[in-house]
Structure formats: structure tokens, C-alpha cells
Chain A
């Protein structure tokens, strides 16, 4: 099977560039520049150096003893939460802002849901002396306040988005509209493996460092490069794409994506695109999306701002269609329980997004298999409000 993008920008039936004509010149130039630089030694040296000295890569592959014992498996956590700015998002942001600088762009745009991509973009924009504007839905501004403050401190302009469900999808709409107004000097840093070609392939490329490190780290820890399974949460799907990337052709490795089921897959309050969606076009890409029978895009719901998106990257639509990856769903409640478990058993407070990946461990059985890697895509600082509100009574007992 083939999991690389074809020359027209498709993974099987999914992908393409369904964009207003005004953005076409930008997209074509971006693709040319990306293809020219992806194998350029100087570009890659600059990228790798920043990943090492600025982000702190490689991120540890941590053997989680108590989780392993609980689930009867050898469980490793890929610690993207330990990156500078607290998630995997910065791997992509550094790559794209370097690219934008090569293209002579002065102004960086981003959409953000949880604020992790927004913070990563504002951070790299500060580092590389670029103007930065971040679009964020009002609902997300309210539930991820610490990240809003961080972006502002870092010098970015945060634009509240009030259209639609006021979440990630709407933030991306506004970023695209803004880009239509200022196509010449602006680069739009999309934060996941979504959007028109070349974004899905480009973002997956910049995130692929995750799986390339997993291979090396497993080899030295376990003597094998390939795990039994890789588990990652899927909003648009960038941390999953990065964690799967170098295992796509290794068909013995199970690839498991975990979507946000919200209040339940059939509750009408969900962001589980693969479970409830169908083929269509969203944000410039033909892919699976949540829509009604008239083709109007449905407003998703998840406790997790980063997974609260009604589409999924075209690579994942293709992995689903071909059966190469399987996709599970975790509810808000299951994710919260998995987060609390990780806090108490391993001393790690995960992002609520990443907790969805951990929740899959409850649904799978691994008897006598090889190592299982869970991508811990981010840390939970931004989610403290939600955790404090949902914590079991026993957690709240501070009295001595």
C-alpha cells in the first residue's frame, strides 16, 4: 500500500487543494518552496539545531512502569509534553516559520483551538522577528485563558472569532479570510495535517521527527525499532501523523488514532469525525468531515479544545479507508479519568487532548505483545480549570 502523497496532492481519494483562486498563487509557491527545501542540508541543519537547542529534542521515550503493570503491557510515553511551549505543535511551527522566512514573508497567521499551536507560533514568530496574528474562537478563549495570556505576552495579536461555534473550525475560517486579504506578505501556519495541499504533507513531514526518534529510542531500549502499537489522539491529526509516519510501511505496527467522542458518539455532542462523518470538502481539502444531509458542516463538541474540530486530515481519512490505521473514540469522561490516572500513577499531568490517547488503553488488550507507544502530545497546564472542576472529591481533600 502507498501512504505517500501523490503529485496532485492526494492520499488515495483524499486531499487536493479546494481553495479560492486568490490563494492559489500562495499555495503553489509554498509547495515549490517546501519541495525545494525539505531535503536541503542547510535548511535541515537550521531546523534540527532549533529542535535540539530551542525545543529540547529529542523528547524522552519514557517507560511507564505503573501504567505497564496496570494494563499488562510494556507501555512507553513519547514525551512531547516536555517540549518548549508544552506540546508537539512547535515541531511544525519551527519548520513553517523557517520556510516563511525563506519566502520573504514578514507576517505569520495561525488558527488555534487549545492555544498550543497559537503559543508555539507566537513563540517562534518572536524568535524570528515576525509579526504574528492568531485567530481563536471565543469559546476557546474562555476555556484556555492561560494560553491567550501567553500569546499576548509573546507579542502576538489574538483575534477573537465569533462566527459559527466559535471554536477551531471558525478560527481557521477567519485565518483563511484574513489571508485572502493579505496574500502577498503573509504566511498562514496551519497547525495540523489539514488544509489544502501542500499543508497535510508538509505538517506531517515536520512532525515526523516524533516517529523517527521513537525508532531510535526503542532500538536502544528494547533492541527493536518497531513497537507493537502506536496510539495518538486525533484532532486534525498532526501528532498522530508524526507518531505514525515512519511506521506507515511497517505493516506489523498497529496504528491507533483516538478521536474525541465528546458526550458520546451518538449524543449529537461529539467531535468523532471518523465515527460520524462522511466525505466532503473542508478548509480546502477533500476528506472526512461531520456534516448534515445538506452538506452543511456540523458544529463539533469536545471538552478538549484541540480535538474540537469537525474534520480530519486527508492522510487519516486514507489510513481509515485502507484499514492501515484503526480509530477509536474516547468520551470527555473517559479522557478525564485517564488524565487523573496518569497524574496519580506516573506523576504527569497530561493535556486533555493527550488524555484521549491514554483512554484507549482501557479499550485495548495487549497480552504478550511488544512495546506500546502512546504519544503524550502535550502537558496539562492549560487544562487546570477543567481538571480542578472534574476532580473526584477524594482529590480535593487538602486537610492534614
Chain B
């Protein structure tokens, strides 16, 4: 059983996960940010691999990617930084990245190096199920990595079931039509979508993401699904990290409790 599965065995609700961009705000901040998030009480962390053309991201994460790339972040550097991450960080770690940099690195080499660092799962927002089966499934299973797929308000029920079957770890429920960095409303459509997902009684745990930026949003999501992922909200806070230090991370994480 990997760390993601144990997490959901121990904790079925209010699972709090954060997204941070590797190499942001400064190149060497990746590891200190991870340890600070864990120390503050994060249950799980997604590490974003910066890309020049992040199609599913809004301005805040786009900007953080551009800064990280300018800082010199790339996959070699990331795996160097994460080599001994498991000596300090025990929560599940997920790499989130767009397909093209991973393809250039090589599918099986990427899976091998991620697994060697103790990464538990992958999220690849522009990798559809069909291509996953063709080019990724074999390598990911061989290296014991979970594949976390996204489902959206526009995913038909039948496909939702199919994605649930193929996912391991958990399902990433995109809360609304949009890129990252929006915010979920308490509107009827959002509630209906959350209820629909809850009623499906899916095999995998469900984490809501996109638009969860504060405690009301987190609590709203947790009324229906296992937990939520906070991305742009944290990135905005990290802008103050070089000056103010870990306290900004701790205060932000605690604001969700």
C-alpha cells in the first residue's frame, strides 16, 4: 500500500492538500516549502513541474511557472532536490506536470526517477485516459506510481465511471469550468455537481480542486468529498515567503483548520 492509500485509510474526511510550484519563489525553496507545509499540518502535497505553456492554469500559477523556469528549474534539478526528500517529508507527494517536458525526459525514465525519490503519484492534466493506457500505464505500474485523473462538471457519467476504474490513489474533482485560480461559489450548480459526485459512490476517494482558496470553500467541499487541494491561494502566500519565512506558510495552512 502506498502513502496515498494509507492516508485515506486513516483519514476519510477533511484531507487537506496543497499545490506548490517546484523552484518557486526561489530555486532552492522547493524542499523548505514542503517541510514547512508538512510541519503546519498539510496531509498531502502536489509539486508542480513548471512548463512554458501551462494551458489549464490561471495567471497566478502561470506566473509562478515562469519564475521557476527563469530560476533554472527543470526535471534534473527537481529530482536532485528531491533525492533525500523522504528523510524529511512523510506525507504523500504527487508530481503534477504537463506532458511535453515529461515526454522529453522519457516516460519510463521519468517514472523511475520519480519513484526513486519516493513520489507516490502523478497528475498530468493534458494526458487523456486513452494515451495513458497506450504509453504510461505500464511504466507507472512497474514503478508503483498512482495515476490521478481529473474529472470535471462536463465529464459524462459513463466516462466518470471509466476514469474512476483507471485511477489509483484518488480522483481529482475539478470544481467548476475554469483554469486554476478561480473561486467556487455557494451557487446551486456547484452544489448540484458536488451532490452528483457524492451520489456516485465512486471507488476512489475524491479530492476537490480549482477554486478552493479559504476555509469556507474547503468546508463546503468537505461536506461532499474527502478533501480538497489548495493551489493558487498558497502560491500567492509564497510570494511573501522569502521575506517573512515559514510563518506565512504556517498561518495559511492553519487558516483552514
B53 close to A173 (CB less than 8 A): yes
Query: For the complex, is B186 an interface residue (Cβ under 8 Å from A)?
Result: no
B100 close to A295 (CB less than 8 A): yes
User: A18: which of B75, B131, B151 is its contact (CB, 8 Å)?
Assistant: B131
A22 close to B152 (CB less than 8 A): yes
Q: A181-B177, A284-B126 are in contact. Are A20 and B53 (CB under 8 A)?
A: no
| Nearest CB of A to B185, in Å | 14
B177 close to A180 (CB less than 8 A): yes
The secondary structure that dominates the B interface is loop
Complex contacts, A293 vs chain B, CB 8 Å = 104
| Nearest CB of A to B51, in Å | 7
| Nearest CB of A to B66, in Å | 8
User: B56: which of A164, A180, A183 is its contact (CB, 8 Å)?
Assistant: A180
| Nearest CB of A to B174, in Å | 6
User: B52: which of A26, A177, A297 is its contact (CB, 8 Å)?
Assistant: A297
Interface residues of A in 274-319 (CB under 8 A from B): 279-282, 284, 289, 291, 293-297
User: B177: which of A17, A183, A281 is its contact (CB, 8 Å)?
Assistant: A183
Complex contacts, B101 vs chain A, CB 8 Å = 294-296
A19 close to B103 (CB less than 8 A): no
Instruction: Give per-residue flags for B108-128: 1 if the beta carbon is below 8 A from chain A beta carbons, else 0.
Output: 000000000000000001111
Complex contacts, A397 vs chain B, CB 8 Å = none
Query: For the complex, is A399 an interface residue (Cβ under 8 Å from B)?
Result: no
A20 close to B125 (CB less than 8 A): yes
Interface residues of A in 155-186 (CB under 8 A from B): 163-164, 169, 173, 176-177, 180-184
A24 close to B155 (CB less than 8 A): yes
Query: For the complex, is A16 an interface residue (Cβ under 8 Å from B)?
Result: yes
Query: For the complex, is B178 an interface residue (Cβ under 8 Å from A)?
Result: yes
Query: For the complex, is B130 an interface residue (Cβ under 8 Å from A)?
Result: yes
A294 close to B174 (CB less than 8 A): no
User: A25: which of B69, B150, B154 is its contact (CB, 8 Å)?
Assistant: B154
Query: For the complex, is A42 an interface residue (Cβ under 8 Å from B)?
Result: no
Q: A181-B178, A294-B74 are in contact. Are A280 and B104 (CB under 8 A)?
A: yes
A280 close to B55 (CB less than 8 A): no
Query: For the complex, is A220 an interface residue (Cβ under 8 Å from B)?
Result: no
Query: For the complex, is B102 an interface residue (Cβ under 8 Å from A)?
Result: yes
Q: CA–CA, A289 to B99, complex, Å?
A: 14
Q: CA–CA, A20 to B126, complex, Å?
A: 5
A282 close to B126 (CB less than 8 A): no
User: A291: which of B75, B102, B104 is its contact (CB, 8 Å)?
Assistant: B104
Query: For the complex, is B38 an interface residue (Cβ under 8 Å from A)?
Result: no
Complex contacts, A297 vs chain B, CB 8 Å = 52-53, 100
Complex contacts, B159 vs chain A, CB 8 Å = 24
| Nearest CB of A to B36, in Å | 27
Q: CA–CA, A289 to B101, complex, Å?
A: 12
Query: For the complex, is A8 an interface residue (Cβ under 8 Å from B)?
Result: yes
B126 close to A281 (CB less than 8 A): yes
Q: CA–CA, A163 to B57, complex, Å?
A: 12
Q: CA–CA, A18 to B134, complex, Å?
A: 13
Complex contacts, B130 vs chain A, CB 8 Å = 8
Interface residues of B in 49-77 (CB under 8 A from A): 51-53, 55-56, 58, 62, 69, 74-75
Q: CA–CA, A176 to B178, complex, Å?
A: 10
User: B154: which of A17, A22, A164, A284 is its contact (CB, 8 Å)?
Assistant: A22
B100 close to A282 (CB less than 8 A): yes
Q: CA–CA, A342 to B103, complex, Å?
A: 44
Complex contacts, B190 vs chain A, CB 8 Å = none
Q: Looking at A19, A20, A22, A297, which has the most chain B CB atoms within 10 Å of its CB?
A: A22
Question: In chain A, what residue has the closest Cβ to B176?
Answer: A181
Complex contacts, A282 vs chain B, CB 8 Å = 53, 100
B75 close to A294 (CB less than 8 A): yes
Complex contacts, A16 vs chain B, CB 8 Å = 131
A21 close to B151 (CB less than 8 A): yes
Complex contacts, A295 vs chain B, CB 8 Å = 51, 100-105
User: A20: which of B52, B56, B62, B156 is its contact (CB, 8 Å)?
Assistant: B56
Interface residues of B in 155-200 (CB under 8 A from A): 155-156, 159, 163, 174, 177-179
Complex contacts, A25 vs chain B, CB 8 Å = 154-156
Complex contacts, A164 vs chain B, CB 8 Å = 52-53
Complex contacts, A284 vs chain B, CB 8 Å = 126
Complex contacts, B19 vs chain A, CB 8 Å = none
Complex contacts, A177 vs chain B, CB 8 Å = 55-56, 58, 179
Query: For the complex, is B18 an interface residue (Cβ under 8 Å from A)?
Result: no
Complex contacts, B156 vs chain A, CB 8 Å = 25
B100 close to A280 (CB less than 8 A): yes
Q: CA–CA, A120 to B199, complex, Å?
A: 46
A281 close to B100 (CB less than 8 A): yes
A163 close to B104 (CB less than 8 A): no
Q: CA–CA, A177 to B181, complex, Å?
A: 12
Question: In chain A, what residue has the closest Cβ to B51?
Answer: A296
Query: For the complex, is B218 an interface residue (Cβ under 8 Å from A)?
Result: no
A21 close to B100 (CB less than 8 A): no
Q: A21-B128, A25-B156, A284-B126 are in contact. Are A294 and B177 (CB under 8 A)?
A: no
Query: For the complex, is B149 an interface residue (Cβ under 8 Å from A)?
Result: yes
12 further A-B pairs in the complex, CB-CB below 8 A; given A169-B53, A182-B177, A280-B103: A21-B174, A22-B174, A24-B155, A163-B62, A164-B53, A180-B56, A184-B154, A184-B177, A279-B103, A294-B104, A296-B100, A297-B53
Task: List 7 A-B residue pairs with CB atoms under 8 Å apart, sorted by A's residue number.
Answer: A21-B125, A22-B155, A180-B177, A181-B177, A280-B104, A294-B105, A296-B101
A-B pairs with the 3 shortest C-beta distances? A295-B104, A295-B101, A22-B152
